[in-house]
Amino acid sequence: MTRSATHIHAAGYSLNLVGLLGFLIVVVWAMVAITAPWITPYPIGEIVDFDYFGPISDKFWLGTDYLGRDILSRILMGARYTVGISLVAVTLSCSLGVTLGMTAAVVGGWLDTILSRLLDALNSIPSKLFGLVVVAGVGSSIPVLILTLGVIYTPGAFRFARALAVNINTMDFVTVARARGEGTFFLIRSEVLPNIIGPVLADLGLRFVFTVLLLSGLSFLGLGVQPPDADWGALVRENIGGLPFGAPAVIFPSVAIASLTIGVNLLIDNLPQKIRDRSN
Amino acid sequence: MNKHVLHLVLARLVIAVITLVIVSFTVFAATVLLPGDVVEILLGQAATPEAVAGLRAAMHLDDPAIWRFFRWLAGILTGNFGISYANNMPVADLIGPRLLNSLKLAGITTVFSVPIALSLGISAAMWRGSWFDRAVTVLSIGVVSVPEFMVATSAVLVFAVYLKWLPALSFANEIHSFGQMLRVYAMPVITLSFVISAQMIRMTRAAVIETLNTPYVEMALLKGASRARLVLRHALPNALGPIVNAVALSLSYLLGGVIIVETIFNYPGVAKLMVDAVSTRDLPLIQTCAMLFCMVYLLLITTADIIAIVSNPRLK
Amino acid sequence: MANLVEIRDLKVEATSDAGRVIEIIHGVSLDVAEGEIVALIGESGSGKTTIALSLMGYARTGCRISGGRVMFAGRDMTQLSEREKAAIRGTDVSYVPQSAAAAFNPAQTIMDQVIEITRIHDLMPRPEAERRALELFRALNLPNPGTIGRRYPHQVSGGQLQRLSAAMALIADPKLVIFDEPTTALDVTTQIEVLRAFKSVMKKGGMAGIYVSHDLAVVAQIADRIVVLKGGEILEVGTTQQVLDAPRHPYTRELLSAFEPKHYASPARPEMTARKPPLLDVLGITAGYGPVQADGLPLMRALKSVSFRLEEGRNLGVIGESGCGKSTLARVIAGILPQAKGDIIFDGRQMARSAAGRQKEELRKLQMVFQFADTALNPAKSIEDILARPLAFYHGMNRRQREARVCDLLDMVRLPRTVRHRRAAELSGGQKQRVNLARALAAEPRLILCDEITSALDTVVAAAILDLLKELQRELGLSYMFISHDLSTVQAICDEVIVMYNGEKVEEMATGLRQAPTHPYSRLLFSSVPKLDPRWLDSLELDPELVSAFARR
């Protein structure tokens, strides 16, 4: 006797409608980031309207910015910077953090102590502050941003992966493999990793949200992506002058950020339990 | 407090000190060891080589980095934070009044948001699955997943542009009346409260729900205890550690939030000072502000950990 | 209405994580008269706890009473409001949980929790409640009854907490007490004390009880009637004597047959093997956990100078209660926990202290099987991958050879070959333990260390695993070191037995359990094992000095 809820079933997994909505939002933004140069209605740098902070119109779907440039085109192109930089940075931090975290958990002893202490210390520098300090020291460019964001979120990924791996490490099947005489690399790759990969990927999604938020924050402060390029945070900064009269140019870049981060959150929150708690 | 607890607390303090040393090294390294010559910034491109060499010697820039680190650390410890590059004033004098302003902002926000956030988090956990719980959860997820500047701009749009209750961006530095103070502080406090409350609600709710799922709460239910008794007498005392931790962590979000909020509302605090210092590459000022922020953060999480240790009933 | 409890056609549904709704109780009906103790007997998943909890109008998260009536003292618990149910809970029906250690709130004193029912329902002033609690502490034979209430739960032992949880349930003189496997987590020597305390209090108060358990021998001591459950249905109901003497259902007979003493007859001939050097020679092992002290020994010593030997083709049983060091012994021999002192000589070779220092061939000949079948199998791998790894690792087999050998191994442990494509989560407990065994066999070992391998299994399944072990031994000439807290299990498979207490070997019995034990602790341990005879507990006389010396109450 079974009853089924509002679930979509595919490839052995089921996703509910809210999760599907999140998934669609993420896919749309990913497509936009890839195809941006070919789908922008106007060249992004070109002043196309005599009016600045122009309203929504047939010609300019999302209005124009403080110089009279088309906001829709700038948002579509901005997706490249926001999604691209965040994705590379989060991949960097997660692969580094997860590798170190699993190694620390499996090897244990002094290696674990030193790595944990060091990365915990790094974690106790507030993320925005870290960004500020680095930009003050080195100046801002896209590679510097990617590296900085990557370093900032490595300790979090480390801590998360280590905690999961420590639990797995106490399981009897790891003890069995140890008693069989297996080496550290086999233990990490074959016994631990397959059992934490689900939660680790979910965590990567959440960390992607943090990265997007921090990048936008830094750009908003003028420390992130530098003109003439602009990610969504920089678009808000450029057009903040339109805020007192509620110009669309300042609202829509914010909406773009929110739609992406909320979309990822919805997707992660509604992932099947099967993926999220593989470790249990 | 017994010996075991004392031992744990001391160990936690030692860890805090070690962390502080590593953090200060990181801050120093990020600002000084990386390329970009300070002297060039100070004297400009046109300076003569003699002038550059003279200033380098005066600032000990030719010493090994590790020596400069220790000299700098010793300075911080003795209250000598150095001289600002930008206007030749002692850093301490620049920071002093600004720090007071920031503390005021943070203090008002804390007094405002902690009670509200805790009661919302606890009551959402108490009526888990209800419409109230769902509304609180959705709202807090929403706030957590948007950048702080968006909360600020939304607040401006709602309260200033559409409702016209408050000035859009208040630049008033002189405060003569209570009404004026309310107007100056309202927007930054509202924004910061939203930012830190969302985290606090989520974490408090999770902590209480976790203790509500324990066998001893089920046992109390089977004794005939009411829902209020389950939460207040059985779950809350055991969730105290995690809740204090949630509060401390959320307050640490103040540090991130304050950077954005002070910038957007042009509020004369330490964070605004620091953001301005970044654009002038005023390294001593940046270093000191960074250390200040890190110390506040460390203080918060260390306090939270110590409260968690002391409040753990199993260690009594 | 004559009976205190009348359950009619009770149905309970559970919702799984995937959102599926399954019926777990399929229309159960039973009665409990005033002052009668009824036992619900069944394996894990038989629904015995779910039925018991329905008497409080309660279903655990994810479960729902979907049909039938649960009449208690004339009221249908399924129809009452939350508030009405709360008024009955604790006062009329009360609950003694399986794990008292988890059911006590760590942040409150014991007294606060024992008298909480009187506070919630406002039954009596606090001093009177405390006076009643004190009476119950004495009646339940708790040590230091005057001061124990001021302590916190983590400061008293498991056996004491279990009795304190009974005091908590009895404080308001309920009409019915539900005991949910209250002695399962306890050692046998502790169990006796707790059972006796429960029995005397219940008889004195004339209360009715529901006693949920998987252990027929325990239930035989305390219940008037027995209800046998399986898969959410009642198979058999009868008086205790009737169920024990003349079971009607085949499943009940199977349960009872697990209690028949089986003495193991070794296939190996001792006179042949006696001349050869022993397979395993353990010499003065000391091991433990925690920081190393000045004398080079760890702070917490789990093993203190333990020595024994095991001849080829014979089986050694290691028995003792929780914390006696028997599992540590297996871990030291397997090289998982390096010893601080002493030597292990296996197959004529001195073994390195840690597995990392041993040669592959040495590791291959000595395999270990763990207690919890599900944590010993990697949930992310197929059974085929799990079994193929030791084949590649020890024997360097190629893909084709491995595939063939995995099928052989599955045949050996009597599993269908199709399971090789499945994952551990899709198998039953008994099947998983067979896979564990197959993985050990894949190495082609001489000796298998079995650490409580049948303890987590239901009686009937465990018996089948023991039969398999014997069969494999006949075919492959293996030796086993069999660690267990359960005497009948050890009796069924071992030639020799050592008894451990507090990290030391207190007795060695070369002829298995056929001889009577001589050490006082062994005598206490052996006499504490419940028998199917309902008069066993009442007629049992234990030397009180022995009990106070060894039983950790």
Q: What is the pLDDT of residue A66?
A: 77
Q: What is the pLDDT of residue C112?
A: 93
B233 contacts: CB under 8 Å, gap ≥ 6: B220, B225, C108
By residue range, what is the domain housing residue C51?
3-257
How far apart are the C-alpha atoms of C204 and C212, rounded to whole Å?
Answer: 21
User: How near does any CA of chain B get to the CA of C154, in Å?
Assistant: 6
How far apart are the C-alpha atoms of B23 and B302, rounded to whole Å?
Answer: 15
User: How near does any CA of chain C get to the CA of A274, in Å?
Assistant: 9
B280 contacts: CB under 8 Å, gap ≥ 6: B85, B86
Measuring CA to CA, which residue among A216, A203, A223, A55 is closest to residue A140? Answer: A223
Mean pLDDT of B55-73: 74
Q: Which residues of A touch C444 (CB under 8 A)?
A: none
Could you tell me the two tokens for C118? 């009187």
Going by pLDDT thresholds of 50, 70 and 90, the confidence category of residue A279 is very low
Nearest CA in chain A to B36: A138
Q: Which residues of B touch A269 (CB under 8 A)?
A: 141
Mean pLDDT of C304-316: 90
Q: What is the pLDDT of residue C343?
A: 93
C423 forms bridges with which residues in the sheet? C382
Whether C252 and C276 share a structural domain: no
Mean pLDDT of chain C: 88
Whether C26 and C148 share a structural domain: yes
Whether C203 and C165 share a structural domain: yes
Going by pLDDT thresholds of 50, 70 and 90, the confidence category of residue C86 is very high
Whether chain A has a CB inside 8 Å of the CB on C413: the answer is no
Query: Which member of B213, B219, B233 has the closest CB to residue C103?
Result: B219
Least confidently predicted of B75-84, B131-140, C161-170: B75-84
Q: What is the pLDDT of residue B177?
A: 64
Whether C250 and C217 share a structural domain: yes
Tell me whether residues C372 and A172 touch, CB distance under 8 A: yes
Mean pLDDT of chain B: 82
Q: Subunits touching B (CB < 8 Å, at least 3 pairs)?
A: A, C
Tell me whether residues A172 and C23 touch, CB distance under 8 A: no
- Is C342 within a domain? yes
Domain range annotation of chain B: 91-315
CATH for the stretch B91-315: 1.10.3720.10
- Is C425 within a domain? no
How far apart are the C-alpha atoms of B106 and B300, rounded to whole Å?
Answer: 13
**Mutate which of C372, C378, C426, C449 to disrupt the A interface (most A C-beta within 10 Å)?**
C378
Going by pLDDT thresholds of 50, 70 and 90, the confidence category of residue A139 is confident
Q: What is the pLDDT of residue C268?
A: 54
Going by pLDDT thresholds of 50, 70 and 90, the confidence category of residue A58 is confident
pLDDT at A3 over 50: no
Plot region of B123 (φ>0 → left; ψ -120 to 50 → alpha; else → beta) = alpha
Whether chain A has a CB inside 8 Å of the CB on C107: the answer is no
Q: What is the pLDDT of residue B179?
A: 67
Q: Which residues of B touch A252 (CB under 8 A)?
A: none
Whether chain B has a CB inside 8 Å of the CB on A265: the answer is yes
Q: What is the pLDDT of residue C7?
A: 92
Chain B, residues 15-74, CB within 8 A of chain A, namely 15, 18-19, 22-23, 26-27, 30-32, 34-36
Tell me whether residues A178 and C336 touch, CB distance under 8 A: yes
Percent of chain C clearing pLDDT 70 (strictly above): 95
Residue pLDDT, tens place only, C424-465: 888 888 899 999 999 999 999 999 999 989 888 888 888 889
Residue pLDDT, tens place only, A59-102: 777 778 877 788 888 999 999 999 999 999 999 999 999 999 99
pLDDT at B165 over 60: yes
Whether C177 and C317 share a structural domain: no
Query: Which member of C58, C107, C117 has the closest CB to residue B237?
Result: C107
Q: What is the pLDDT of residue A8?
A: 53
Whether C118 and C229 share a structural domain: yes
Q: Which residues of A touch C380 (CB under 8 A)?
A: 194-195, 278
Which DSSP letter does residue C523 get?
H
Going by pLDDT thresholds of 50, 70 and 90, the confidence category of residue A2 is very low
Amino acid identity, position C372: F
Whether C296 and C333 share a structural domain: yes
- Is C20 within a domain? yes
Going by pLDDT thresholds of 50, 70 and 90, the confidence category of residue C385 is very high
Neighbours of A66 (CB within 10 A): 15
The CATH code of the domain that includes C293 is 3.40.50.300
Q: Which residues of A touch C17 (CB under 8 A)?
A: 273-274
Three-class secondary structure of residue C103 per DSSP: helix
Percent of chain C clearing pLDDT 90 (strictly above): 46
- Highest average pLDDT, of A22-26, A238-242, B180-184, C508-512, comes from A22-26
C536 contacts: CB under 8 Å, gap ≥ 6: C217, C220, C221, C530
pLDDT at C38 over 90: yes
C407 contacts: CB under 8 Å, gap ≥ 6: C417, C420
Q: What is the pLDDT of residue C265?
A: 65
Going by pLDDT thresholds of 50, 70 and 90, the confidence category of residue A280 is very low
Q: Which residues of B touch C95 (CB under 8 A)?
A: 219, 222
- Is C551 within a domain? no
- Is C307 within a domain? yes
Number of folded domains that form chain C: 2
- Is C247 within a domain? yes
Could you tell me the two tokens for A187? 């233990």
pLDDT at A189 over 90: yes
Whether chain B has a CB inside 8 Å of the CB on A143: the answer is no
Q: What is the pLDDT of residue A1?
A: 33
Q: What is the pLDDT of residue A219?
A: 92
Percent of chain B clearing pLDDT 70 (strictly above): 86
Whether chain A has a CB inside 8 Å of the CB on C377: the answer is yes
pLDDT at A49 over 80: no
Whether C463 and C510 share a structural domain: yes
Whether C185 and C308 share a structural domain: no
CATH for the stretch A7-277: 1.10.3720.10
Q: What is the pLDDT of residue C551?
A: 63
Q: ipTM value of the model? A: 0.82
Three-class secondary structure of residue A238 per DSSP: helix
Distances (CA, A) of C395 to B272, C348, C389, C442: 68, 22, 10, 9
Select the more confidently predicted residue: B179 or A236: A236
Measuring CA to CA, which residue among A240, A214, A234, A233 is closest to residue A129? Answer: A214
Q: Which residues of C touch A177 (CB under 8 A)?
A: 389
pLDDT at A16 over 90: no
Neighbours of C336 (CB within 10 A): 16
- Highest average pLDDT, of B105-109, B294-298, B308-312, C386-390, comes from C386-390
| Residue positions counted in chain B | 316
Helices and strands, counts by H and E, chain A? 11, 2
- Is C190 within a domain? yes
pLDDT at A230 over 60: yes
Q: Which residues of A touch B157 (CB under 8 A)?
A: 243, 246, 251
- Highest average pLDDT, of A27-31, C193-197, C522-526, comes from A27-31
- Taking an 8 Å Cβ-Cβ cutoff, which residues of chain B contact chain C? 213-226, 229, 233-234, 237-238, 313-314, 316
- Is C147 within a domain? yes
Neighbours of A27 (CB within 10 A): 12
Going by pLDDT thresholds of 50, 70 and 90, the confidence category of residue A126 is confident
Whether C141 and C18 share a structural domain: yes
Measuring CA to CA, which residue among B78, B81, B186, B206 is closest to residue B133? Answer: B206
Residue pLDDT, tens place only, C472-511: 998 888 999 999 988 888 888 888 899 999 889 998 887 7
Going by pLDDT thresholds of 50, 70 and 90, the confidence category of residue C402 is very high
Whether C330 and C468 share a structural domain: yes
Q: Examine the fold and report which residue of C222, C257, C292 is the final residue of a domain before the chain moves on.
A: C257
Residue pLDDT, tens place only, B29-49: 877 655 556 666 666 666 677
Q: What is the pLDDT of residue C449?
A: 95
Q: Which residues of A touch C19 (CB under 8 A)?
A: 3-5, 7
Select the more confidently predicted residue: A51 or C307: C307
Whether C175 and C303 share a structural domain: no
User: How near does any CA of chain C get to the CA of B220, in Å?
Assistant: 8
Helices and strands, counts by H and E, chain B? 13, 0
Q: What is the DSSP string of C370-390?
A: -S-TTTSS-TTSBHHHHHHHH
